[in-house]
Structure 1
Amino acid sequence: MFPILGLFHSLPSCICTFYAASSSFLPVKRPNSSPASNEGSSNGGSSEPPRKFQRVGKSQRPVAVPSGPATSARTRFIRVHEGWVPLLRVSPAMSQVAIPVRQTMLKVLYTRPKPTLAAEHALKQEEELTYRNTEARFISHPSVGTESEVQAREEARKKIAALCLTTVHLEPYVLSMDQMKQWEPHEEGSPMACDRCNQRFIVKRRENADHCRFHWGRREKRRVYTCCSRTTDEEGCETGPHVFYESDPDILHSRHGFTSSRPKNGDEDSALDIVALDCEMIYSTGGMRVARVSVVDGTGNEVLDKFIRMDDGVEVIDFNTRFSGINEENYSTAVHPLESVRESLDSLINSETIIIGHALENDLKTLRMIHHRCVDTVVLFPHQQGHPYRRALRALAKEFLGQTIQAAGAAGHSSIEDSVATLDLVRWHVINKPRPKPPARYVALA
């Protein structure tokens, strides 16, 4: 190489000048040109084709564009969430993975799950935690835990669901008369004490009722309310009409008479051996009255669910929706008064039927029913501080069944859901706890 360079420098100047002049005719890399310049060159310019590996124009990275119409970035985002999936417009030669494979993977990302699923799930959990406030220590899920723990919970759930309760199972659980007595706890224009703020007021119907400030949550030991964490010295967090609640059987009987469950009618009686029952109540000018009753059989199947119209002369003051789940819309569907609903209950319940419930004395009082064959989860799962304290049904369902109930917040409770929960708690107790000693009257029969 070096001798050739030396030879080149030793040539005469005329030859070098000729060589320099000739070098302007050597082929060079064609510059990028616009369509206008290409059109001009086709008329009189160089017609030399581009080299084999020459890149023409600016290089572009592969991008995903929506397969549907889109006019802006926001429109593309909305379109995608309404069903559009981006279409990959990429040259196969520039992709290391097959385009159909990449397109399929992209479709999966956009169709399952939703990009906002995690955020929505977290918000729902936060809402549930806020509603239950200090009673909720954690939020669990059936899939949380080791494989053995998940499997054990699933087997326990199946075992409870498979247990078909009979009177033989529940006979030792039936409350004695002494136990039932231990748990026993005005008219429009009459003065009463408000069940919410404890002030005296004149009972008026809903459209004319006087209002007060109150807390819908319970007061804890540290003198704060579970609904808003305010202290007892602060103003209530909610406004509503004055209402009253009565538990004296004599007063309740004067408003609507008590009757006993009917006797058994031979072997062809239509009544069930076991039922679980729950009622939802609202405030009226006649005190707290039942507005919905739900009954499930021993296997958890719904056999009765009815809304109840107030008696003639009794007007609604407050639907108590946060706890009852009753509102003006579903109450408008109530056709039958309590007397008619009691007749429907008599077709399912006789004096030998075992009724399961939670704080069952409240349900029997509002139904004006006298019944002596009861199993109450308040007694089966006593409060650690003993009588008269009692544990909430949702706390029992969470601890022993791993279920979250009554989580609808301001939408209220469901009497069907509560009935099934009490039934499952009794099933759990039969499977996992020693049976209580039967009353003396059953020992004599054994």
Structure 2
Amino acid sequence: MFPSTVNLFSNILCPNKAFCTRNPCIFSHKDPSDLPLPTTLAVPFHEPKTLQPEQPKTVPAKRAVNSSPVRASAGPVSMPNEPPRKLQKLDSQRRIAQDSTPTTISGVPILKVLPATSSVAIPVRQAMLKTIYDHFVILYQSISAVHPTLASEHALKQEQEVYSTSNKFTYRNAVIQSVAAIKRRTPPTSISHDSVGTEGDLTARAEARRSISALRVTATHLEPHIVTVDVLKKWGYIVEIPSETGGLEPSVVGKPIKCERCGGLFVVRILGEQDPGREECLHHWGRPYSRVTNGERIRAYNCCSKDVSDGGCVRGPHVFYESEPETLHRRHPFSQLESSSSTSDILDVAALDCEMIYTTGGMRIARVSVVDGSGHPVFDELVRMDEGVEVLDFNTRFSGITPEMHAERAMLPLSSIQKSLNAVIGKDTILIGHALENDLKTLRLVHHRCVDTVLLYPHPRGAPYRRALRDLAREHLNSTIQEGGGSTGHSSLEDAIATLDLVRLFLINNRKTASSSPSAQATSSSSKPSLGRMRQKVTPASNFMRPRQS
């Protein structure tokens, strides 16, 4: 109880009034009119502010910088008018999505997997992933400028391969073994090098190569894919020997003719007898292609990336080529392979490729290579020019033939080469080639049993477009050919083997659909949509002798 002297309730009327029995009573028994009024409750009241004209807002030039590096890295800073937020350090492994899709940025990759789904601790896997990445960076040092994300992508894929084939007890040792295997690889020089890829990629490629090389292509395999005569005509093959006498005019020395490179007229002369006052041919050795720059489509040459209106990037001799069957027959006569009664030495299947050079008789064959159905070389010879035919340009960038090589190894003329070929291939032999009509024309051969990889691997845009052999080899065989350039150029033997491997791969992948013939593919390929790959326009039938370009 409170002391009575306080009189806390003296101003409050007693609730029992006259019936109160308390003595003394802490409440008042006075007349209610004599009691003071209760104290008024003070309620705050704000006067409405007078509206002022709106002032233009000033935006600071720069956002305020947080001077505390700890708070800046820990999380967002609370504003004065907001309740304080709890600052916490986020686990870099837990704040990433669940999938393990490789990143598309360069640098140390981040493992994208939930900790609950991994049997190996995520920090351990991340540390092992960084180790794998560091060794891929060293391995891809020479190609990292062109492919900056390759090391990151392959490190993620390699770690996933190791994790999927091991458990939490063997994981570390498996990573160490994979890193040791990466260190033993030869540094790659291109994206299609054998050392590029994960251990699984290398194993799969080796297995594919073994399956391809183990297949010996026979006539039985290729019979359904022999191109019909009508399709041969469509693709520029010469299917019959011209009726006039051949070989009457092997050279056109002293006659004016149009230069194949610059388009100007020049008088054909032997290389050492060129007019001293005549300038060399200024031209582009590459082919024009389309590119988009700042939203504008530009046509440029792939040799120097200069616009097509530019005069040229290299100088060399004027050259020419001819395409009409009668004209070619007049330079050197066409013939057919003979049917031999002794078929034991005649191949049933052969892959063929040739290299050409420019001469005073147009573009002539300088090297011919033949491999059998197993990929073993059976014929590889350089060709000496006919009497009265002189070389204008060895076209070493593409032919791979140098003057010294030709002078030392070219012993037999084309007529003797044709007779030598009859010892290994005959009229019934199925010839395999890429754009084989060009090789047969320079060989001056008429042959009807042909399988052309241009038709087995048609261009998405259909005829008359075709895929380049080097592109097909890189895409389907993961091999690099025709990369010599400069003084080494191409190799007809290498190209013949690559063409045979493409046919092998086609047969392996199409065993269940082998009934579809290449002629049907050739006629229907024009309706296929473009796949957006690198395209190369086919040389028209009238211009079949254009030099091969990279």
TM-score normalised by the chain length of structure 1: 0.66
What runs of 5+ residues in structure 1 fail to find an aligned partner? 1-115, 127-137, 441-446
**Which residue does 2:282 correspond to in 1?**
213
| Offset of residue 124 of structure 1 | 12
SS at match of 1:223: strand
Structure 2 match to 1:419: 496
Q: Which of 181, 187, 193 is the matching residue for 2:258?
A: 193
Q: Deviations for 1:139-181, whole angstroms, at most 9, x for unmatched residues? A: 1333433443332222111111111111111111111101110
- Structure 1 residue aligned with 2:219, among 167, 175, 180? 167
Partner of 1:259: 335
1:389, distance to aligned residue in structure 2 (A):
1.3
Q: Distance in 1 between matches of 2:498 and 2:321?
A: 26
Picking from 281, 286, 305, the partner of 2:356 is 281
Question: For 1:404 and 1:439, how far apart are their aligned partners in 2?
Answer: 25
- Letter in structure 2 aligned against 1:173: H
Aligned 8 A contact 1:166 1:274 in 2: yes
The 3 A distance-change label for structure 1 pair 436 and 188 is: farther
Please point out which of 432, 436, 442 is paired with 2:509: 432
Please give the secondary structure, in 2, of the residue aligned with 1:365: helix
Counterpart position of 1:177: 229
- Matched with 2:444 is 368
1:230 and 2:295 aligned: no
Work out which of the two has the higher radius of gyration on C-alpha atoms and give 1 or 2: 2
The alpha-carbon deviation at position 123 of structure 1 amounts to 11
The answer to whether the aligner puts 1:389 opposite 2:441 as a matched pair is: no
8 Å contact from structure 1 (residues 259, 369) kept in 2: yes
**Counterpart in the other structure of 1:86:** none
- Structure 2 residue runs without a partner (length 5+): 1-137, 148-189, 238-250, 291-297, 520-550
Aligned 8 A contact 2:352 2:433 in 1: yes
In structure 2, distance between residues paired with 1:293 and 1:359: 15
CA contact (8 A) 1:264 1:352 kept: no
Paired residue type of 2:508? I
CA separation of 1:269 and 1:145: change in aligned 2, threshold 3 A: closer
C-alpha distance in 2 between matches for 1:124 and 1:361: 40
Write out the 4+ residue segments of structure 1 that deviate beyond 6 Å after TM superposition: 116-119, 123-126
Are the equivalent residues in 2 in contact too, given 1:278–1:416 (CA < 8 A)? yes
Return closer, same or farther for 1:125/1:166 CA change in 2, 3 Å cut-off. farther
Assess if the C-alpha contact under 8 Å between 2:348 and 2:428 holds in 1. Answer: yes
Residues 146/328 of structure 1: CA separation in 2 closer, same or farther (3 Å cut) = closer
Q: What residue is the counterpart of 2:400 in the other structure?
A: 325
Deviation at 1:122, TM superposition (A): 5.0
Taking the aligned partners of 2:351 and 2:145, their CA distance within structure 1 comes to: 30
Residues 143 and 191 in structure 2, CA contact (< 8 A), matched pair in contact too: no
- Report the CA distance between 1:398 and its aligned residue: 0.1
| Within-5 A mapping of 1:95-110 | none
Contact 2:193–2:480 (8 Å) recurs in 1: no
C-alpha change, 1:246 and 1:281, in structure 2 (3 Å) is same
Give the Cα–Cα distance (whole angstroms) in 2 for the partners of residues 146 and 292 of structure 1.
Answer: 39
Q: For 1:319-342, what per-residue CA distance to the aligned partner results, in whole angstroms no more than 9, with x for missing partners?
A: 000000111110102111001111
CA change 1:402–1:117 in 2 (3 A) is closer
State the TM-score, normalizing by the size of structure 2.
0.54
> Is contact 2:300-2:306 (8 Å) kept?
yes
> What is the distance in 1 between the residues matched to 2:255 and 2:236?
25
Contact 2:456 2:518 in 1 (8 A): no
Tell me the secondary structure at the aligned position of residue 308 of structure 1: strand
Q: What residue in structure 2 maps to residue 144 of structure 1?
A: 196
**How far is the alpha carbon of 1:247 from its aligned partner?**
1.4
Out of 197, 201, 209, the residue aligned to residue 157 of structure 1 is 209
For the residue of structure 1 that corresponds to 2:412, the secondary structure is coil
Structure 2 CA distance for aligned equivalents of residues 144 and 312 of structure 1: 49
8 Å contact kept, 1:125–1:139: no
For residues 253 and 344 of structure 2, what CA distance do their matches in structure 1 show? 41
Q: Secondary structure of 1:145's match? A: coil
Deviation at 1:233, TM superposition (A): 1.1
User: Could you report, residue by residue, the CA deviation over 1:50-102 in whole angstroms, capped at 9, with x for unpaired residues?
Assistant: xxxxxxxxxxxxxxxxxxxxxxxxxxxxxxxxxxxxxxxxxxxxxxxxxxxxx
TM-aligned CA distance change 1:368 to 1:289, over 3 Å = same
1:290-369 alignment to 2 at 5 Å?
Answer: 290-333=365-408, 334-369=410-445
Q: Partner of 2:301: helix, strand, or coil?
A: coil
Distance across 2 between alignment mates of 1:290 and 1:238 = 24
Quick one: distance in 1 between partners of 2:313 and 2:405? 26
Q: Note if contact 1:213-1:238 (Cα within 8 Å) is conserved in structure 2.
A: yes
| Separation in structure 2 between the aligned mates of residue 389 and residue 118 of structure 1, nearest angstrom | 35
1:293 is paired with a residue whose SS is strand
Identical residues among aligned pairs (%): 53
Higher helix share: 1
| Matched residue type, 1:142 | D
SS state at 1:413 partner: coil
Which residue number corresponds to residue 100 of structure 1? none
- Cα deviation code 1:372-411 (max 9, x no counterpart): 1111111111112211111111100000000011111212
| Aligned-pair CA distance for 1:353 | 0.3
The 3 A distance-change label for structure 1 pair 117 and 396 is closer
Among residues 213, 232, 240, which one is paired with 2:316 in the alignment? 240
SS of 2:204's equivalent?
helix
Alignment match, 1:101:
none
Deviation of 1:361 (Å)? 0.5
**Change over 3 Å in CA distance of 1:369–1:124 after alignment to 2:** farther
Question: C-alpha offsets along residues 297-333 of structure 1, whole Å, 9 cap, x if unaligned?
Answer: 1111111111111000111100000000111110102
Q: 1:199 corresponds to which letter in structure 2?
A: G
